[in-house]
A = this chain, B = another copy of it.
Amino acid sequence: MGSKKKGTRAERELFDMLWCVNFSTIRSAGSGSTPRPSPDLLASNGKRVLAIECKSSKKENIYLTKKEVDELNEFCNLFGAEPWIGVRFNNMKWFFIDTDNLKKTKKNYYCVNLDNIKKKGLNFDELIGKFRQLRL
């Protein structure tokens, strides 16, 4: 399966997970169709609005451009939404990190590392606030 197809599959998986916990969720028509910033998913339970940029990879590092992150923040500032990056490494569950906690690399890229996000990211239940794990 190609990486683009896999990305879409991952995005739809998260879309369904959000609906299952009663978040009304919309999938974006895609960044290619417009120059405007647009998160992959936008979900709300009437209290919180989550804007999620989804990334999946079989490698141990996922890179995001500064432009991607800036646009997500820009969208969220105006909409009144929380900016999240959702990452799905091969054979792992979803992890989530907000844009403030992303690690910037030298070349104007942000990097999400598998080991790091297992420690510092939120899992799905934590994201939606169902359960917050104690981090000692």
Partner of A24, one of B26, B27, B75: B75
**Bound CA span A45–B45, Å:** 18
Partner of A23, one of B12, B25, B78: B78
Q: Which residues of A contact B (CB under 8 A)?
A: 12, 15, 19, 22-30, 33-34, 36-39, 42, 44-47, 49, 75-81
Main DSSP-derived SS at the A contact region: mixed
Partner of A29, one of B27, B36, B77, B80: B27
| A26–B39 CB distance below 8 A | yes
Q: Which 6 A-B pairs have the closest CB atoms?
A: A24-B79, A46-B80, A24-B78, A27-B29, A44-B79, A24-B75
